[in-house]
Structure 1
């Protein structure tokens, strides 16, 4: 559908670029160099505009002020805000103020197309495109069913599409709950094996004693049937998905390697052997190379499996996927609960969900949305429908600072290094107050000789603490420290801090 899109960007070069991108999608583009010019245009020709792309740096007025003025005009136009990688928090605030969606610069044509398409559907009252549909529950998943609004997930989908065109072994890496199984199903569905079985073996859910029989069938030389041939034979002609392969016992790893090398299975020493045509896709949340070093995973099997690794990023690393996932889950669960009309979700609620770090990743977000839909009392989900998320985001504890005055106020303090004394006292306080994390959150202000520590030393320690405390979420770390992300990255370089392992000291 062709629509009029208002582009509000103050930089001429960027404005031309976005105009060309939107026009390439078949839409008409109207231009404004700032918020006030955009509002003036909307007063005269607002009925023509179906969506707005707004750069957060657009001159003339604050984004919140622009959105408030838009609301005061009763202009029911979805706003897509555009921001840089270091300003995602500002985008979240814009969503809280009423923006429909946000894209991170530089945004691909596919990302802008997806944002506009969903905004237009919202404007027409059709709801959001729930690409996570009921088909995913039935197991028939295509790449179009996977939310890939972020550049990180677009990269995953691109790699997975390429993998689907061959029988090369694939290892999907990533934390629990990121959607590795869904990617595996999409690879199978896009391959020429799509009409054949997709068989799953959860290696960490089957007992150590039973996993070999579960995978390869019984070992007593009974007649060879599909029933007792194990999951490997059941996947003949199709795909075998080994979930959490890092949990596979060493002995079973050896047999799997043998089967992969010879392309056939036996029956526990029987002379009879059977050829099998099986495509292997594995998944793990573990670092397999570390497992190899610890001799918990066979090195030869690792190199046999790890031909084509794909890292599926954690949800906190691709926060621009959150609004799309949330809307898709709301629509899907509304349908599954047979509600007379699909629920909607407010911009403030989307901003809250985007602010969270989601340690349980997409699976946790899905469960939170499901609970909210089940308990919903209105037609729109708001912040109050996510109390557990609001409590976690708004009340995260801050680090505790102790200074030399602490010792002077305790005249009975024994003579020992101040750092040791303060930490011991803090531990005692933690036991008395029921806050065992207090000592771990403490940053000492003086050294062991009683002198005030260098500012750079305290700053480095605080940055390391913040990175660990907020699990490496750079935008949240920068916001809580009161600095910009570019400044944070510069300080990481100055202090030699690895954001993935902030406690590691660089020699």
Structure 2
């Protein structure tokens, strides 16, 4: 939802003019006829929706300077644009010292007011992102840093706040990309272990023969190649929180040692003569139902009940679409600053409607990457449908835009090209394969999500080329998470590693993306 602008002026004509101007800018407006009413709004339940305050300095009773003073005392950091018909230097200096962001003189032009409002919103977004990054790195991230406005996520936050008051083991379940690690970090930052170590282990990204050493550590000479003593992740997390992502991927022998660590509060490093006592808070996460793994005999039942003491399920993005506008604005502010495109500050209504209609199988991570690409491609102030060619193709059912990346080997790792509007050709139903091109016809592009069966000469492509393509697509689609890729392709993980090596594919060094 777009932030609303609070207009504070005792002149009804001026209030109405400012309200109409703000609505033309694309923002919602809230009006107040005096300082006391403005403070009531800023301290009320809808204060989170206020992005900027346009404040008249000269008002009866509580004037603009008084409002600024009271806001500073209450810790309200919403940017304030002050306006007055008396543009003396003393007034300007006084208002800026009192905490005003900008100053305009009546009658202010609509263009000048719009620039001031948009700049204030961008500065606020950047300051919030910088503070969030600092808290993320220091282990003090809290639930107020989670970008959401949907009822399902409010329930998640309530559960997380309750869990943060104790050291109870927590199991966070949800699809890939919904933000499980963010919730885990918020639990840590809201607990007594805030600012203590937060150690993340992606269990699906570790080769089976190294899991025990990485988690529990080893002594020098414990096995061939152990030339030095290694401190495991459990000891790194001593005093803080250990976050086991994709815990269902742990081998059976490691599950036994994890169960002992939870029961006794001590671990057995490989080659150690005696156990090591550790004090840690365990938060586990999985994108699969552990209960199903238990039924399949792939996960210990006793360990499951040890981990599943306080379950939290995070709904997918398609079930909380109210979060999409806020997330989009959040990512725009972040990537516009990172890419040096500070003029990019909004998204068109048509593009937002398209984003709201999409199912987002990759959840927040997919949305983040889509906005990142859109900001890089954008040359104006507003993101349009043209900057989301892949989303437009899948939501509108039209042919693949010429700017969307091809799934052919030659283009799989190429950079993004300039997008264009979808062609007016007939849509290809997603459940049916497209018609094969005629021999020698290489002008037709393969729609997004399909593999080419024929080469440019019209002959069937060799099996190894097709297999290399599907593995490459799976690596890209699941962001290098080898365990997930192997599971979806229904092959062993060692077989997948071998094929990646044989085909010369680029497997990410960190082959497990953070949740």
TM-score over 0.5 (shorter chain): yes
Is this contact kept in 1: 2:234–2:280, CA < 8 A? yes
Unaligned regions of 5+ residues in structure 1, if any? 6-26, 29-41, 50-69, 81-108, 398-429, 436-507
Q: Distance in 1 between matches of 2:321 and 2:329?
A: 14
Q: How does 1:293-312 map to 2 (within 5 A)?
A: 293-312=295-314
Per-residue CA distance 1:15-47 (angstroms, 9 max, x = gap): xxxxxxxxxxxx99xxxxxxxxxxxxx999623
Per-residue CA distance 1:263-282 (angstroms, 9 max, x = gap): 11123364312210010000
Per-residue CA distance 1:389-424 (angstroms, 9 max, x = gap): 111111189xxxxxxxxxxxxxxxxxxxxxxxxxxx
How many pairs were matched up? 325
Q: How does 1:147-296 map to 2 (within 5 A)?
A: 147-218=147-218, 228-268=230-270, 270-296=272-298
Q: Distance in 1 between matches of 2:306 and 2:266?
A: 16
Is this contact kept in 1: 2:219–2:229, CA < 8 A? no
Match of 1:366 among 368, 384, 400: 368
Following TM superposition, by how much is the alpha carbon of 1:142 offset from its aligned partner in structure 2, in angstroms? 2.5
Aligned equivalent of 1:127: 121
Unaligned regions of 5+ residues in structure 2, if any? 30-42, 55-77, 80-113, 400-431, 438-515
Is this contact kept in 1: 2:4–2:27, CA < 8 A? no
Question: CA distance change for structure 1 residues 114 and 294 in 2, over 3 Å: closer, same or farther?
Answer: same
Q: Distance in 2 between matches of 1:169 and 1:226?
A: 32
Per-residue CA distance 1:238-273 (angstroms, 9 max, x = gap): 100000001111111111001111111123364312
Match of 1:114 among 36, 42, 48: 48
Q: How does 1:354-503 map to 2 (within 5 A)?
A: 354-395=356-397, 433=435
Question: CA distance change for structure 1 residues 294 and 222 in 2, over 3 Å: closer, same or farther?
Answer: closer
Following TM superposition, by how much is the alpha carbon of 1:374 offset from its aligned partner in structure 2, in angstroms? 1.4
Whether 1:314 and 2:316 are equivalent positions in the alignment is yes
The TM-score normalised by the length of structure 1 is 0.57
Q: Distance in 2 between matches of 1:312 and 1:210?
A: 30
Match of 2:27 among 72, 78, 82: 78
Q: CA RMSD in A?
A: 3.9
The DSSP-based 3-state class of the residue aligned with 1:210 is helix
Is this contact kept in 2: 1:335–1:342, CA < 8 A? no
Following TM superposition, by how much is the alpha carbon of 1:179 offset from its aligned partner in structure 2, in angstroms? 0.5
Question: CA distance change for structure 1 residues 431 and 246 in 2, over 3 Å: closer, same or farther?
Answer: closer
Per-residue CA distance 1:279-303 (angstroms, 9 max, x = gap): 0000001111111111111110011
The structure with higher relative contact order (CA 8 Å, sep 6+) is: 1
Following TM superposition, by how much is the alpha carbon of 1:180 offset from its aligned partner in structure 2, in angstroms? 0.4
Following TM superposition, by how much is the alpha carbon of 1:317 offset from its aligned partner in structure 2, in angstroms? 0.4
Following TM superposition, by how much is the alpha carbon of 1:343 offset from its aligned partner in structure 2, in angstroms? 2.8
Following TM superposition, by how much is the alpha carbon of 1:352 offset from its aligned partner in structure 2, in angstroms? 1.6
Is this contact kept in 1: 2:198–2:240, CA < 8 A? yes
Following TM superposition, by how much is the alpha carbon of 1:156 offset from its aligned partner in structure 2, in angstroms? 1.1
Q: Distance in 1 between matches of 2:348 and 2:53?
A: 14
Per-residue CA distance 1:209-252 (angstroms, 9 max, x = gap): 11111111126676999961211111100100000001111111
Question: CA distance change for structure 1 residues 365 and 132 in 2, over 3 Å: closer, same or farther?
Answer: farther
Is this contact kept in 2: 1:226–1:234, CA < 8 A? no
Q: Distance in 1 between matches of 2:199 and 2:247?
A: 14
